[in-house]
Amino acid sequence: MENFDFFNPTRIIFGKDTIGKLSVLVPAKSRVLVCYGGGSIFKNGVYDQVMLALKGFAVAEFGGIEANPQLGTCEKAVLAAHAHRADFLLAVGGGSVADAVKLIAASSGTPGVPAWDLVLDSTKMTAALPFGVVLTLPATGSEMNNGSVISRIDPIDKRAWGNPLVHPLFSILDPATTLSLPPRQVANGIVDTWMHICEQYLTTDNNSPVQNRFAESLLRTVREEGPLAMANPENLAVRANLMWAATMGLNGIIGVGVVADWSSHVIGHELTALYGVDHGRSLAVVFPGVLTLCRVSKRAKLLRYAREVWGLTDADENVLMDKAIEQTILFFESLGVPTTLRGCGIPSEAADIVADRIAEKGWMLGEGKDIGPKEVRQILIARS
């Protein structure tokens, strides 16, 4: 195990009928800007629950935050927060809304620095508005960490950033809010959760049994509960278990003291920025390619993954690794998530284009910093 520094002060309120607790969770007398996405919260009743709980607060609203939240949208929201003299932000929605609110909070707290500069170098942050989250989609883990991913159009880009100043003050996780999610979003969320766990687990083994077993615990739970959520969308207990697994997958607990990969995410972000593919789908395309490429460096963990997550028992270790990768693909496909570029409608020249962009940025990816442009091309060609 490596040395580590762990700090996660976000309070989690979990369970059915907990949105009403906003009335005591939001600091008294706050001027609140409620931020949300495309309007699903109007259909599923979450908007009404939130507004009822915020009665008595000075509330303004900012809607229209898109999946893969855009810089320009965040910049508009900063102006709205300023106009309302907001001193508290509330994200109501999925990870995209939470991610956007983190940048809105940071940018509001650090006037004079362009928002994109904060994304590129978050050490420029000096303060952030406090904020809370009402989560309606289990996937990104953004509700209990200080990370965020922001996209922009001109020039086109999608980047992850983070700062200890943008931990949510609290997050309310009511699994009932997820009952009405479209199947595609549920499936994407399952893949995203899977990938957050794997990026921290399927790396180089460094004798961290607690972290390994916690990651395997989450993967086994997602493997069981994910298909149940697809098959029985009305089952609240399944939704609750899936929601908690998603949060635990990226709140730092399984990542302490181990090395992390994140190459699938970085390559996937490029695919989403360029081709608009859903984030979860981009990961499902890239990951099998990364595993195949990194069979040697990831060998010890791939074998654990085969045995502990997939229950494989073959004596031949190469067969074990092959089968583990195959099972992963089958799992994603069983959720209706395509695992090839073609399946996502992405042209095969994406391999060259993404490789060139990685080269331009000078990035070497993966836990061993051994995935460069050439390897990225190889990964994507194998997944064409």
Question: From the CB of residue 16, how many other CB atoms can be counted at a distance below 10 Å?
Answer: 12
Do 366 and 276 contact (CB within 8 A), yes or no? no
Q: What own/partner pairs with CB < 8 Å and gap ≥ 24 does 106-115 have?
A: 106/163, 106/165, 106/166, 107/74, 107/75, 107/78, 108/78, 108/81, 108/82, 109/165, 115/71, 115/74, 115/75, 115/78
| Closer of 76 and 213 to a copy of itself (Cβ) | 213
Do 248 and 228 contact (CB within 8 A), yes or no? no
Least Å distance between CB 210 and a copy of itself?
Answer: 5
Q: What own/partner pairs with CB < 8 Å and gap ≥ 24 does 367-370 have?
A: 367/203, 367/204, 367/259, 367/260, 367/261, 367/297, 368/204, 368/297, 370/297
Copy the structure tokens of residue 358: 């990685």
| Closer of 25 and 86 to a copy of itself (Cβ) | 25
Least Å distance between CB 66 and a copy of itself?
Answer: 30
Do 215 and 194 contact (CB within 8 A), yes or no? no
Copy the structure tokens of residue 206: 């460094």
| Closer of 14 and 363 to a copy of itself (Cβ) | 14
Least Å distance between CB 134 and a copy of itself?
Answer: 15
Least Å distance between CB 336 and a copy of itself?
Answer: 23
Question: From the CB of residue 207, how many other CB atoms can be counted at a distance below 10 Å?
Answer: 9
For residue 232, the one-letter residue type is N
| Closer of 88 and 214 to a copy of itself (Cβ) | 214
| Closer of 36 and 201 to a copy of itself (Cβ) | 201
Site residues (vs a copy of itself, CB under 8 A) = 1-9, 11-16, 18, 207-210, 213-214, 216-218, 220-221, 224-225, 237, 240-241, 244-245, 248, 253, 256-257
Query: How far apart are alpha carbons 221 and 334 in whole angstroms?
Result: 16
Least Å distance between CB 174 and a copy of itself?
Answer: 9
Token match 């952030």: residue? 128
Least Å distance between CB 308 and a copy of itself?
Answer: 10
Least Å distance between CB 62 and a copy of itself?
Answer: 28
| Closer of 22 and 245 to a copy of itself (Cβ) | 245
| Closer of 207 and 316 to a copy of itself (Cβ) | 207
**H or E segment and range at residue 326:** helix 317-334
| Closer of 5 and 316 to a copy of itself (Cβ) | 5
Least Å distance between CB 15 and a copy of itself?
Answer: 3
